[in-house]
Structure 1
């Protein structure tokens, strides 16, 4: 009976995650505690270089990757002995062709209904291409002009899209870049500007990057929406290195297509939004009921009063506007996410709207949210709904960490180059070990939670070219500081 129940739990768990499991861009596998493959998705078979017909013969993989499975089970046992449920391990795995792959494996221990380990969930992330490419590009940066033939051969064979530009004009593209934009020949791109490839909605981002390079001589990673030659649009992610090309300064841009990956991320973000909207529903209903009660009472007074009722109209109008604001902010959470199209935004009104919404739930827990922001506008490039979700997540995490009454401070400061938004709570805090693990799949400090909230928050901030810093003291509280690149005020603002 125990064995049958264990298989039932495993079957239910696999079925519940099956759509994500089968459609994921990352390689995934379910592994038994004894070190055998239970289930392997198509992405992992592609990564390892095995044909699809082997999907029905996972036992063959058990033999091929016996050493790796042994390492994973030993690592899983060490996690259990340390009372941990997940962790990350680096492995070098042999491709079916004999090539060595550099893989990061995220291992999570799945428990049955009795809270006993049932099996492992493993995600395989391939860093081989980017690792090899980055090391080769950095090592050859100062001698590229002497070995053009060699690095041209390297770039021609790369599976990632590579463009070399001078002052924004394309000088070189490799075959992968041609495939990315659906070009038939290099002549279709050479001599054109990057403005023609990058969509107009990202031209401000492109301009800010050029301005930042001329001022600080640095270029960070970036995401663009690009226009293919056949009219299609794709989202790409990449990085840029400054080199000398044919005796002059040039920029090597390396990009990969993340359109499908971003669509899956947007789906996860939308699912998290719907969950959050459900949790806020009770507080929203309570907050709307209060002004409705006031309106109803003043209507009765107006009917029975012989005096002037002008003041009553002002109060009723104020309460109706309050209801409208709450309902509008709730509707923002239910809107489906489209493509990430950045535009100039003043971050201060966004924070005001989020705080207004979250004060509903805060009041139910006797928590006060205080806002300390400058009077002048703070301009950034971003997508308003995604940024709202970031600060809703951070405020909600702060409230969940506080058992009773207290204060959450939202503070905004800025420098010439960035805007810093801090959310500081008076909750239970976290240890340095817990902070290090935030954002890992399945890791959460809450009694009930998925760990998706902080992972999605970090992903949104990364896609906006920013960073998030976490400082915490156990039993005293936690401060999340979001840093976003600052831009000058738009002329049409």
Structure 2
């Protein structure tokens, strides 16, 4: 019976997870374990009968003879070497193997056999090959992507932590740069004008909180100091293995200038319409005044009726001038601040209730229980609500009800003024807002222009729905706080 230590060594050899063999100095396979049989696709008997010697692995005998002939081992000295080899598996696949040889000499005698461990490097090499292929594909994709960006007519730049890493030719032309090295490494804070830095900060905060960037419009400074307006979007991408931001921008400077020219032209057209309307509206009462003054000069005695007519026409001129002055006020600067629109509307209802009652009109409020806050100028919005309630009452000769509703959503506040008046045709609705157009017997038509301008200056909108004899509904939308 073998000693316990020998039995333990044999057990470890047989059950090792790596293929191992004991080979004599002459290349004879003395012993193999099960893991080696499984790795090489051979049985123990085939390996013991010389199958190992007949394959490429059989070259280990020559390697051992060559190495052992170069030196004389001293007692108890251990030597080891490694050899990489290709092995054609019986199943038809090639294996990359590394053979680890180790041998020891017992006291007073040279070594007669060595232990060979077979390390299968095929999975490692295959993984390395896959990684190499993927890296090559990534490089090809990145090169193709950059080529696409170079051909793009829009400005494209890639940034990391706010620093420019890449810029295409369109970006160089936009910034008036002669070479890409002029912009690489520059912070976006330098390119973006200080007046737009708050937009940069807001986008960075939005990305940090919601992982969203979205579209933006910037005022930028070119390398020669020229200012331009650009509009575009930013996407999160990967550049050279790291997360980066890809921004695509379009120069809209000329477009903005053209829009400003069109707006200025529209203002001049509106001013011309106003001037024509003013001339027409004021000429009529002036003609009446002039005529009655001539009559008074030729008359031997004063006529009270003439004075009443003159006074009435002068009041009409005063009304027109006052409304024109109010029309100009929304264009001037005013102090905006948050306020409760519910409280403002309640004040207006209280103010108008007496006049409504005299005309047999009931104002029905439908307000939420909680305050409703908007940002703006309270006195100007008071003017809006007064105008709408006055229009509603003047459209109801026979009395009726005016429903005043306030609704709030997450982003908007809606104030709805609905009456039971005579209503309007689609043609009349389309004409609303034109200077001196009115559906009332007396009026200048400027009240609705004033209302629209104030709402527009507060970032809101107004919508009209009406049918003849079915009443009219004005809906004001304002941004909610």
Please state which band the TM-score falls in when normalised by the shorter chain. 0.3 to 0.5
Higher RCO (C-alpha 8 Å, min separation 6)? 1
TM-score (norm 1): 0.38
TM-score (norm 2): 0.39
